[in-house]
Structure formats: structure tokens, C-alpha cells
Structure 1
Amino acid sequence: MATRIVTLPGDGIGPEILAPAVALLERFVPDVKVEEHVFGGASIDAHGTALTDSTLAACQSADAVLLAAVGGPKWDTTDPDQPRPEQGLLGLRKGLGLYANLRPVRPLPALYDASPLRREIIEGTDLLVVRELTGGIYFGEKSRSATSATDVCTYSVHEIERIARVGFGAARSKVASVDKANVLETSRLWRETVKRVHAEEFPHIELEHVLVDNAAMQLVSAPRRFDVILTENLFGDILSDEAAMLTGSIGMLPSASIGDTDAPGPHPGLFEPVHGSAPDIAGQGIANPLAMFLSVALLLRHGLTLESEALALESAVDKALDQGLRTRDLGGTASTAEATEAVLAALG
């Protein structure tokens, strides 16, 4: 039976980086069947909504979903009654039951000098941000009047327990649970629940609690101290983008969003680069496709359990960079096509 992957090109540079990524995927999974659907701003233009019912249904029945990028100034609005591309992403996560976002951050030796941080600070960094995806302020009740607005931050014990298990399960030795327990009641529940899950199920893993402002500071002053950063939705969104600068460019950071694989039925994960749609360079053929390629590697690993294939693709990206590949965001001149050719050549 063929492996079925739904692809969502999205907006801006999305289609440009997705096409070569699909070619790489087909190289590793010869029987793959790729089904493309409109999503994000492009879907708003075509259907008036960022995520149609038919696109969601296709994603729900797939083996995995590969997303490029969404958004752009064309659809930027503060009117709560107008659709936004990001609503499609939130709806997709909810519709697929995706509650854990995994963002590995591993600066490559070839790019140490591309980071705005000094080499001696980032050298040897290898961390994973585990971000909760379905709770928190993004999904809480919202209100708006002429003079005020509210966004309710809500977390349940169940939501915290399951993301804590993902974080502890991914850790080599240590989990830094990031919260704001000195101020927020949701963070106090978070801290209490993480403590209990640790004591009952993962006592062999070291656990520390770090306030989010301290974590943000340490992430750029001593990133090597982190193994797994476990945190809630809003904090994870901000910290993972901050962590991208350790790699030299947000164009180098992939991500995987996963759900409950133990429950019956298909459980497709969502795999996407962390960067946005970069509308300012769309159509010029100069976008960095490497985060997209590394997202394919995460799809191979977490979506299709093809670990050796994932390692081969990651090694090819490393090798291409070691041999001098640099896209414009990394201080070079390589086009999207030239970056793709370099990675294919490194695969041999």
C-alpha cells in the first residue's frame, strides 16, 4: 500500500521550497503518493477560509502532512471577523489532534560563524524545544470591546500530563520545564503537574524549573546547558523562534507536530519549517530550502519511522554546508535550485 502524504504549499515562498522537498521525499520513499491541497492565504483567496473541510479531511486520512509556509501582509487584519492564514494552522493542529510541537536546535559547525552569537557560546549546542500546542492563551475564550480586550489562558491537568510525557521521553538526561509560576496560576498548575509526572514516571531524568524570562536569557547566554525545553504554547512559540538564531538563520529550523499515536485510527503528524512565508522574496528563487528539507527528515523519522533515511538526509544537509553551500540568509549567494542540487549531490 502506497504511503500517502498531503502537501500544503501555502503562501509566499511556500511553493518554491515545497517542490524540491517533495522530490527529496520521493527519493527516500519510492512508493509515496503525494496529494497537494490549497491552504492558508491561498485558500482564503480561493474559498474564503484558510482551511476547508475537504483539506482537513484529506489531512486526517493521510500518513503525514508536509506544510511549507502560510501568511503575508495581504491577509493581515485586526478585524476578528475576517479570516487569517494562521487560523488554518490552528484549525489543522486541532483537527489532527496535534498537541506536541518538536523543534530541534542544533547549530552546525559549518555555520557557527553565521550566528549572531559568538562561536564559544553556541558550540556544541543540541537541544529540543517541546511546545504544547492545544491549550493556553491561543485557544482560550476571547472578547473585544471598544475599550478593552481579553484572552483567557487555560490549561487542564490532562494537557500538561501528556506534553510532559513527550518532553521526558525525548530527553537524554535533563528537562528544563519553563513557566511563569511566580505570577500565573496556569503556570503553578503546570509546575505541580510536571513535578508529579516526573516523580511517578521519569525519576531517572533530571528536572529543573526555569522562569520564562530567565530561560530566554540563558538560551542566548548558555544554550549548551539545555537538553529538552518543555513549555506551554505561548512561551514555546517565542522561545523556539529565539533559539533559531543559534543556528544562524530561522531558515535552518524544522519542526514536527505530533499527536496521540497510541489511539486507534490514523494519526498523521504535521511537518513544517519554523520560518514564515517571506513574501518579500517570493518568486525570486532565492529562498533557503534547508529547513524544509530538514522537516522532511523529521517526517521520515517521526511520521514514517524511517530513522536511517532521516539520518541520511540530515547528513546530506550537513555535508553540503561543510562543502560551502550558503544561501543568502547565511551570507552566501546560492539560489533555491543551487541549494537543492548541493544536497542531492551530497546524497550521492
Structure 2
Amino acid sequence: MTNPSLLILAGDGIGPEVMAQVARVIDWYGDKRGLKFDVSEDLVGGAAYDAHGTPLHDDTMARAQEVDAVLLGAVGGPKYDALDFSVKPERGLLRLRKEMDLFSNLRPAQCFDALADFSSLKRDVVAGLDIMIVRELTSGVYFGEPRGIFKEGNERVGINTQRYTESEIDRVARSAFELARRRSNKVCSMEKANVMESGILWRDVVTEVHAKDYSDVELSHMYADAGAMQLCRWPKQFDVILTDNLFGDILSDTAAMLTGSLGMLPSASLGAPMANGRPKALYEPVHGSAPDITGKELANPIACILSFAMALRYSFDQGDEASRLESAIESVLAQGVRTADLMQADTDAKPASTTEMGDAILAALDASL
């Protein structure tokens, strides 16, 4: 039996630094739990542009299509700001998502108890928070045609088109309902059916899918702007939130800040099942490349490590081992270990470095045995 395969694309900025800690965790699972992976590495984003003149080489794209899962660090940086739009580092990530057809983006917002006071919201609002936003990722206003900036008379007009087909809505709705069955069996679908025809279709299709195949799951609907307000008012009323590409982008960033730091948030982008039954998948932290702290050992590796935990759960059917890793991170935070982004401004304590946080997590994993 062959080992599951992982392609690591560390990318730019702090990407290689946080991914180095993920590699240590992967090695730990091989050594201590007998869970071995065939790991390969390649370039994406600015690093790929520097080497090949493109943010994603065709050979790398082909490899991404073949492996069981892709782990990505971060892309971009000011060094590449002047590049033509077609070769900016972010185009490499967008190509991966589009060509792998990763239509279902899972963005968890979980508040570890040790960090509840770090959120800008009150402790009782965020303590114990554990919600999942399922964002449609490959269609909607970011991809619809026509789009562009055009001249009409004496002025310019910017046009973007919000477009969804029934099948695109159907498949991401099924992804959300299936996920809800593994959690608290509750989905809230968010759109703007009061003012957008695409929202009317979204609500209709989600309702039809629910009635046909998922009547055991509790379904509610909410306008996306009201949903943003409710996320800030009482986020724990939600479990799985299903929404489109644009609103998902906004709502997931809103939910992200409930936890106190982007350095804590992983994500998964899933596609259709491959021949082995596993979904095509890309896992990445929500944070960016943070060029201001690159090379300073200040980056928080937790989001990237939690992204690997998501890979264990959703690509490799290793839910217990994913929970082990999540519990290890929770234990480390409860002990007071903090990288710089998790420290209050008024403290004189010395933050843990990127490597020291990795050390602490590995020690907690050892203690779990």
C-alpha cells in the first residue's frame, strides 16, 4: 500500500518559515504514529516567477493534479507589485484553485479558550466559538463575464458580473450539508435574495437540494449583510454557514477576526473526488506572506499547522489524529506560549519564535502519547 502524497508549495515571505514547522509535524506523525506521507516540494508565487518567469509552472500544476493534497504557505510581496497582472504571484494560487476545480472553500473560525480575551469582542461572545464557513470558490462575481473597465461616453465604467449556474450552487450546497452532518447538523445559507436574482436562484437551489437529500439537516436562510451583523453580535448561533464567493470572502474575514489573529486560521479548498475517492484538495493558512517580518522568526506557524490538521481530517480520514494535533495546539496556548501576534501590547514578556512554537507543539504531541 502506497503512502498518501503531499505536495508542499511554501511560496513567499513567511511561507517557507511556517511550512518548515509543518514539515516537522509531518515527520513526527511518520516517526511516532506510523502515518507516513510521500512529500515533494515545488515553487509557487513570486518564488516561481523568480525561477521560471511564471507564478506557477505547468509542471507544478500537473503535479498538483496528481497528488492527494497540496499544502501551500503564502504568496506575494512588494517585490512583485510592479509585475503585470497576468504574472503576479497571486495568479499562481488562483490557477491552482481554478484548474483543480476547488469549488468548496472551508474556512473555520475557532476561538481557543486561552485566546478568548485576545478577541476584540467580549469573552462570553467568542469563548468556545467553533463555526465553519463554506464559500463557493470558483464562480460568482470574481469570475463572471462580462468584466472589465470600459469607456461609455465621456467616462469609464467598471463592470463585474455575478453569475451562478444551478449545478455550481448544487455541488457547494451538498458540500456544506455533508460537512454539517459531521458537526452539529445545522446550515445557514446566506445571500441577497431580496435584491439579486443570483441570490434568488441560490436560495431556490439550496432549498431544493435540502428537501431532496438532506432533510435531516436543519436549514435556515439569512441575508448576507444581516449575517455579518449577527456574526459580530452572537457568532455562536451558527455552525456551518454556506455562501457564495463574494459574500464568503467578506464573511470569512469577519469571522476570522473574532478569534483575535489571522495567524490562527487555516483553510481547505476541496474539489470533486479523485479515482481514489479523496477530494482534490489544497490546504493553506488564511494569512498572507507578511514581508515585514520575513526572516525574523516572528511568524506564527499555527495556522499552517492547523491547515495540515484539516488535511488529516478531510483528505486522509484521520480525524482522531487531527484532533490530537488541535488538542496539542490548545495545550500549548493554555500554557501561555505565544508568538508576537498573540501577545497583548502592554506585556513585557518575550514572545516565542516561530521555531520555539514548533518545539512546544511537538512536545505537546509527545505528551499526548
Percent identical pairs in the alignment equals 50
1:144-183 to 2 correspondence within 5 Å?
Answer: 144-145=149-150, 147-171=156-180, 172-183=184-195
Q: Deviations over 1:220-245 (max 9, x none)?
A: 11101001100001111111111111
Could you tell which deviates more after superposition, 167-176 or 71-80? 71-80
Aligned to 1:259: 271
Deviates more, 1:229-238 or 1:46-55: 46-55
Match of 1:61 in 2: 66
| Amino acid in the other structure paired with 2:231 | L
How do 1:22-171 residues align onto structure 2 when only pairs under 5 Å count? 22-29=23-30, 30-76=35-81, 80=85, 82-141=86-145, 142-145=147-150, 147-171=156-180
Q: In structure 2, do the counterparts of structure 1 residues 264 and 155 end up closer, same or farther at CA, with 3 Å as the change threshold?
A: farther
Which amino acid in structure 2 is aligned with residue 233 of structure 1?
Answer: N
More displaced stretch, 301-310 vs 289-298: 301-310
> Which residue identity is paired with 1:5?
L
Could you say which residue in structure 2 is the equivalent of 1:198? Answer: 210
Pairwise CA distance, 1:13 = 0.3
Aligned to 2:355: 337
Q: Structure 1 pair 18/262, CA: closer, same or farther in 2 (3 Å)?
A: closer
Q: 2:103 and 2:248 mapped to 1: Cα distance?
A: 12
Tell me, in whole angstroms, the C-alpha distance in 1 between the residues paired with 2:276 and 2:304: 29
Quote how far apart the aligned CAs of 1:31 are. Answer: 3.1
Alpha-carbon contact 1:60-1:266 (below 8 Å) kept: no
Q: Which runs of 5+ in 2 are unaligned?
A: 344-348
Tell me how far 1:337 sits from its aligned partner.
0.9
Q: For residue 295 of structure 1, what is the aligned residue in structure 2?
A: 307
Tell me if structure 2 keeps the 8 A contact 1:140–1:151. Answer: yes
Instruction: Report SS of the residue matched to 2:76.
Output: coil
Q: Over residues 148-185 of structure 1, what are the superposed CA-to-partner deviations in whole Å (9 max), with x where a residue is unaligned?
A: 22222211100100111111111223211010111111
Q: CA deviation at 1:264?
A: 6.8
**Which residue number in structure 1 is paired with residue 331 of structure 2?**
319
Q: Deviations over 1:99-147 (max 9, x none)?
A: 1111121101110011111101112321110011111011112222352
Q: Which runs of 5+ in 1 are unaligned?
A: none
> Which position in structure 2 is the counterpart of 1:19?
20
Matches of 2:308 and 2:205, distance apart in 1? 33
| Corresponding residue for residue 3 of structure 2 | 2
Q: How many residues align?
A: 347
Closer, same or farther: CA 308–265 of 1 in aligned 2, 3 Å: closer
TM-score (norm 2): 0.90
Change (3 A) 1:95 1:108: same
Deviation at 1:259, TM superposition (A): 1.0
**Letter in structure 1 aligned against 2:353:** S
Letter in 2 for 1:12: G
Report what 2:288 is aligned to.
276
Task: For residues 19-75 of structure 1, give each alpha carbon's deviation from its aligned partner in whole angstroms, at most 9, with x where no partner exists.
Answer: 110110122145322211110122122222211110110111111100011122222
Q: Report the TM-score, using the length of structure 1 for normalisation.
A: 0.95
Q: Distance in 1 between matches of 2:229 and 2:51?
A: 43
- Give, in whole Å, the separation in 2 of the partners of 1:324 and 1:265: 41
Q: Give the aligned CA root-mean-square deviation in angstroms.
A: 1.7
Distance, in Å, in 2 between the alignment partners of 1:105 and 1:263 is 31
2:346 matched to which residue of 1? Answer: none
Which one of the candidate residues 306, 309, 318 is aligned to 2:321?
309
Q: In structure 2, do the counterparts of structure 1 residues 279 and 181 end up closer, same or farther at CA, with 3 Å as the change threshold?
A: same
Residue identity opposite 1:314 in structure 2 = E
Measure how far apart 1:269 and its partner are. Answer: 0.9
| Residues in 1 aligned to 2:55 and 2:274: alpha-carbon distance in whole angstroms | 29
